[in-house]
Homo-oligomer: A and B are copies of this chain.
């Protein structure tokens, strides 16, 4: 059993919930491949792999995965939620290609330092931040 499963099981058990095949399938699928994904995308992707779970269960399980800290919700200027892994994933920022949707991650400690300065100046207590650059990835820029 990997680390993700362990975290999920612990959460499941602490809440008196059940570790069902559906939850297991979703958990595995989410951590097998995806960088960023949407609920609908996950559903379709699972179907392609003959893992048929209902939309309701997808949504219910994603909520659990967020609650137990394995996933994080991100919104990329679109109006629906995207998810990304938390575990084994240090904080990072995003480059979002506005043509093909590709997402490149990057991180740099300067951002954190900068955030602290800004917050001091504005008497603001930061909880989190998002730095996102929209533009064209190498491939789309060529075209």
Contact = CB atoms under 8 A, between A and B. Distances in A.
Interface of A: 75, 77-80, 93, 95, 97-98, 104, 106, 108, 110-111, 114-115, 118-119, 121-138, 141
A124 B136 contact: yes
Nearest to A80: B79
B131 A104 contact: no
Please tell me how many copies of the chain the complex holds: 2
A93 B118 CA distance: 10
Contacts of A124: 95, 97, 104, 133, 135-138, 141
A126 B133 contact: yes
B129 A132 contact: yes
B134 A118 contact: no
